Amino acid sequence: DVKVTQSSRYLVKRTGEKVFLECVQDMDHENMFWYRQDPGLGLRLIYFSYDVKMKEKGDIPEGYSVSREKKERFSLILESASTNQTSMYLCASRAGTVTYEQYFGPGTRLTVT
Amino acid sequence: ILNVEQSPQSLHVQEGDSTNFTCSFPSSNFYALHWYRWETAKSPEALFVMTLNGDEKKKGRISATLNTKEGYSYLYIKGSQPEDSATYLCALNAGNNRKLIWGLGTSLAVNP
* Contact: A4, B102; criterion CB under 8 Å: no
Residue B106 identity: T
Minimum CA–CA partner of A40 in chain B: B104
B87: β partners: B38, B107
- Residues in chain A closer than 8 A to B32 (CB atoms): 98-99
Q: Examine residue B8 and say whether the peptide bond preceding it is cis (omega within 30 degrees of 0).
A: yes
pLDDT at A42: 85
Residue B61 has pLDDT above 90, yes or no: yes
Neighbours of A93 (CB within 10 A): 27
> Residue A1: CB partners within 8 Å, gap ≥ 6?
none
Q: Chain A residues within 8 A (CB-CB) of chain B?
A: 4, 31, 40-45, 48, 50, 56, 58, 90, 97-107
Residue B95 has pLDDT above 80, yes or no: no
Compute CA distances A22 → A19, A33, A55, A76, B21, whole Å: 10, 12, 15, 6, 35
Q: What is the DSSP letter of B79?
A: S
Question: In the predicted model, is pLDDT for residue B18 greater than 70?
Answer: yes
d(CA A79, CA B42): 28
Contact state of A100 with B49 under an 8 Å Cβ cutoff: yes
In this structure, what are the phi and psi dihedrals at residue A83, rounded to the nearest 5 degrees? -60, -30
Q: Say whether A48 and B104 touch across the interface (CB within 8 A).
A: no
Is the confidence at residue B2, as pLDDT, over 90? no
Which amino acid would we find at residue A59? D
pLDDT tens readout for residues B20-36: 999 999 988 788 999 99
Neighbours of B51 (CB within 10 A): 14
Contact B89 A107 (CB under 8 A): no
* pLDDT (0 to 100) of residue A12: 97
Instruction: With a cut of 90, say whether residue B96 has pLDDT above it.
Output: no
The whole-angstrom separation of Cα B61 and Cα B42 is 21
The predicted model gives B12-20 an average pLDDT of 96
- Would you say B74 and B56 are in contact if contact means Cβ atoms under 8 Å apart? no
Summarised one tens digit per residue, pLDDT across range A67-109 is 999 999 999 999 999 999 999 999 999 988 777 899 999 999 9
d(CA A22, CA A30): 16
Q: A90, B43: Cβ pair inside 8 Å? A: yes
Give the pLDDT confidence score for residue A2 in this predicted structure.
65
Q: What is the amino acid identity at position B63?
A: S
Distance of CA A67 to the CA centre of its chain: 10
